[in-house]
Structure formats: C-alpha cells, structure tokens
C-alpha cells in the first residue's frame, strides 16, 4: 500500500495536484471533517486521465499568461490515484468501470450494474440514496442511457441495450435526467430506436415529468418549479463542445445541466446525489482529436466549477468527488519537443468527427486532405498524404477484433465499427501531433491509473482510495447506505 501511495503522489504531483490525503491548513481540515454530507456531486470524466487534466490546465495557464492557474478540479485538498481494471480485463470499458464506480464491485466488460455473468443485479449508490430519501439525478454530454449513467441507474447484461435502460429509468422514477439519447425514448415511426411502439418521452410526461427535447425547451424551463425532469436534447450524443462554440449551440452545456439539476434536486429537504459525466472526452480521445478533447475537458471543468459555487454556499453540507472511469488515447503532453504549441491547438475551431470523418467514410481522400489543411491550417506534403493513406490501409482491425472477442465470421460488422474505433484519428492525428507537439499512443482505452480529487464533508476519507471500487464503498459508508450485492 505504501508503494502504491508513493506512485500516486508522484503522478499527481506531475499535474500540479497535492499528494496529501488531507489538507495541511486548519480551514481545510475543518472542511473535510468526517460527517454525513447533505449534498453529493459525483463527477466522472469519461476517458479523462491525468494528462487530459494536465492538458487543460497547461492550456489555461498559456491562455491567461498565468503559470499559477489551477483548474477547480485540480485544487481540491484531497487527492488519490485509482486503478481501473475490470473483472475480465486489465483495460476496462465504461460499462464495467461505471459499475465499479457505482456499486463498489468489479464486473465484466460490457455489463451494466450486474455480476460478470449478467445474472444478478448490484445495488448502486444512486439507487441506495434514492431509497434513503435523497433526490437523485444524472447529467451527461452523451446519451443519458450510455454506459456510465446506465451503470448508476440500470441493470442489463449488454450495455448496448439502451432501449431497456430507458425503460428502467421510467420505472425507477429518478428525479433528474439530462443529456442526449432521444432516439431510445422514441418509436421507429418517429425516427427513434424503439420497436415496441411506445413513446417513452410521453410516458415520462404522464408520470409527472417535465420533458424537454430541445435547447429552446431547456431555456424556457423554470427548474425551481420542476420536481421531476427529463431532458433529451439530441438523438444520440450531444454535439461536441468545439462545434457548439464555433458553429451552433444545439444543447445546454454540462454546467447549465448541473445548475438545472441543483435547482430540481434542492427541492428535496433531505438533500441530493448527482452523477455528472463529461461523456465525450472519451469520444474525442478515441479520435486523438486534441482540440476537441481540450474543449470537452474545459466544459467538464466548468460543470465542476458550477458545483463548487454551490459548495461555497454550503461548505458544511456538500461533498464533491471528481474522477474518471479510465484513460483513453494514451495522451502525451509533448512530442519530440520540450514544449507544446498551444497556438496551433487554438487555431483549430472544429472537431475531426464533425468536419473530416465523412470523407473517410466516402473514401474521398482528396476531400480529407483539403479539410485537414483548411481546418487545421496546415500544409500537407506528399509524404504527409502518403502517411495518412498508409495508416488508413493498415488500421489494426484484426487485433481489435481479437481484443473485443469479435469472431472472424463477423468481420464485416467489425469493418463497420472502424470509425467508432478511431480509424480517422489513427490515420490523421500524427499530422496534428507534429504541429501541436502533443501526441497519442492509441485509439483505445488504456490501463493507466486515473486521479481522484475531492473537497467537502467526508472528503478526507477518500485520500486512501487505491481502486475505483473504493470510491463508492467509502461513499456508502459515509452515507450509511448499502450498495453492491
């Protein structure tokens, strides 16, 4: 345990986080005295490793010309470093990691809220706090039925069964749900994924929920007068942050969703629990899209800062936890250089997926090269183009199939998954890495440990966490509720 803790301190020090499990000042000691919090925020950056947090902080130091600038999530007094392996693999997926973070028990890759065989349900921290009388809610930048939120509020053997996950949310009667994923609540006739003909959004409305399906709806909602809420603003994931900032805003920000959630859940006199996910940090990292990742992490940071404002008003009643389910991409803050070029990052105003991915799908490589030059403001040499073409032709689909247990008979299906697996980033990101001096090692998840930071009531107890399962177990002990089996 001492060796693990020493390694944790070294890694956390590298991104500017304190390595102490409790703060040294008297005020920090007072604020982390162990008692039961009334309000709990559980932030999860999907795919957000230490380097992702470091990227955002270093960028803001450059942007503000302030070498001492710290992200809110990086200046919390309690820190730890946690392992993320699943029951079935050293490198986890979000379903297994989310289940570990919500139930305190490891499960197999792809399984949501159940044992590794997908037979027995595990009780989550959200469910146990709802049962104990707290208001409960979730917000995310991807589908509200996606793996991480589902791991807190549903139980299915296959993470892809998002229609069933939506059904379970209705039955569970959670107080606040906000994100994407409208297609899992809509019938096929309405453009959705439901084959049972059930309009689930309507069913939520009949159950007493205010239901928003657009940014306009969200902006017109008075959350202080809403005690049950479902927000499903886009069909699947919410549009990535960099596109919403520079092209068109199509959904509320994560910080705005957190504020709305606070207004709804605060109406419960006993208190509340809110899980908040920066879901598309992972998607952008799969594509090795440094500017998009940066914008997603900064948006996540703004949501943490929103919770911190609430904490500042209720310091003796609030606990904030910030962590990740796993690291994605093997992000390297440096690439054959002793500096990063944030000017090159700042010039990019679009995401790879939004402006370039379609050219790969159509095999329009001249269109891809033109888009890369335009969007990244680079000049591609013949060698650059040859490199991109070669990487497109040699994408390691066979290795990924083997790792994911996809049989050879389903190779055609796997070929169709190339884009989800990050073929675009694999092919093109070396060009951007050369410009920005920021690199990536993989399109997949990694087994790297991830940081945990905490502030508030009971936070000092989280300084000893060494594995992702320790986090909900510690929280359940503080809240005096039962989770897991």
Residue list, annotated binding site:
46, 146, 148, 277, 282, 286, 325-326, 445
DSSP labels, 13-26: HHTT----SS-SSH
Instruction: Say if residues 280 and 146 touch (Cβ distance below 8 Å).
Output: no
Q: What is the DSSP string of 228-283?
A: SEEEE-SSSSPPPHHHHHHT---S--HHHHHHHHHHHHTTSTT-EEEEEEETHHHH
- Spatial CA neighbour of 436 closest among 328, 347, 330: 347
Longest CA pairwise span in the chain (Å): 65
Active site residue 102: no
Binding residues for Zn(2+): 46, 282, 286, 325-326, 445
Whether residue 259 contacts residue 25, with contact meaning beta carbons closer than 8 Å, is answered with no
Cα 105 → chain centroid:
20
Binding-site residue set for Mg(2+): 46, 146, 148, 277
Tokens of 31: 């604020």
CA 281 to CA 296: how far, in whole Å? 5
CA distance 395 to 418: 8
Q: Which residue has the tokens 């009388």?
A: 133
User: Given strand 39-45, what is the order of strands in its sheet?
Assistant: 78-82, 450-456, 318-324, 39-45, 272-278, 135-143, 176-180, 229-232, 210-212
Structure tokens at 480: 């005096």
Residue with tokens 């040499």: 381
Residue of 94, 128, 251, 299 marked active site = 94
Give whole-number Cα distances, 29 to 36, 194, 389, in Å. Answer: 15, 51, 57
- By annotation, the residues acting in catalysis are 94
């Amino acid at each position: 345990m001492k060796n693990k803790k020493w390694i944790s301190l070294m890694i956390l020090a590298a991104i500017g986080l304190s390595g102490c499990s409790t703060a040294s000042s008297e005020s920090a000691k007072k604020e982390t005295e162990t008692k039961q919090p009334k309000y709990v925020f559980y932030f999860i950056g999907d795919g957000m490793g230490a380097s992702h947090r470091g990227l955002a902080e270093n960028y803001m130091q450059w942007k503000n010309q302030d070498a001492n600038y710290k992200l809110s999530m990086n200046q919390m007094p309690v820190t730890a470093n946690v392992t993320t392996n699943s029951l079935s693999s050293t490198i986890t997926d979000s379903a297994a990691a989310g289940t570990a973070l919500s139930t305190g028990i490891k499960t197999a890759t792809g399984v949501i809220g159940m044992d590794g065989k997908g037979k027995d349900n595990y009780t989550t921290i959200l469910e146990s706090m709802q049962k104990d009388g707290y208001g409960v809610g979730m917000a995310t930048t991807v589908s509200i039925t996606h793996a991480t939120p589902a791991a807190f509020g549903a139980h299915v053997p296959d993470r892809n069964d998002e229609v069933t996950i939506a059904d379970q949310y209705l039955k569970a009667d959670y107080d606040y749900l906000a994100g994407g994923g409208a297609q899992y609540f809509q019938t096929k006739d309405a453009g959705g994924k439901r084959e049972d003909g059930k309009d689930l959004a309507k069913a939520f409305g009949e159950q007493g929920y205010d239901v928003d399906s657009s940014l306009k709806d969200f902006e017109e909602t008075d959350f202080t007068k809403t005690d049950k809420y479902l927000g499903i603003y886009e069909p699947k994931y919410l549009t990535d942050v960099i596109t919403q900032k520079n092209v068109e805003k199509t959904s509320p920000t994560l910080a705005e969703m957190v504020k709305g959630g606070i207004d709804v859940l605060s109406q419960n006199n006993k208190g509340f629990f809110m899980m908040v996910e920066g879901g598309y940090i992972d998607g952008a990292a799969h594509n090795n899209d440094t500017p998009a990742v940066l914008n997603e992490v900064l948006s996540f940071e703004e949501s943490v800062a929103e919770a911190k404002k609430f904490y500042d008003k209720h310091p003796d009643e609030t606990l904030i936890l910030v962590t990740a389910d796993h690291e994605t991409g093997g992000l390297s803050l440096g690439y054959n250089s002793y500096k990063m070029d944030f000017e090159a990052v700042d010039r990019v105003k679009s995401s790879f997926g939004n402006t370039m991915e379609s050219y790969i799908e159509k095999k329009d490589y001249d269109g891809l090269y033109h888009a890369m030059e335009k969007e990244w403001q680079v000049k591609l040499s013949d060698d650059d183009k040859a490199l991109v073409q070669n990487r497109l032709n040699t994408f390691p689909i066979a290795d990924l199939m083997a790792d994911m247990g996809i049989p050879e008979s389903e190779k055609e299906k796997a070929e169709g998954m190339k884009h989800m697996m990050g073929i675009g980033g694999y092919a093109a990101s070396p060009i951007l890495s050369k410009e920005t001096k920021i690199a990536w090692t993989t399109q997949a998840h990694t087994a790297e440990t991830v940081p945990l930071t905490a502030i508030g009531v009971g936070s000092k107890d989280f300084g000893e966490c060494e594995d992702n399962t320790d986090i909900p177990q510690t929280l359940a002990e503080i809240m005096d509720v039962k989770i897991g089996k």
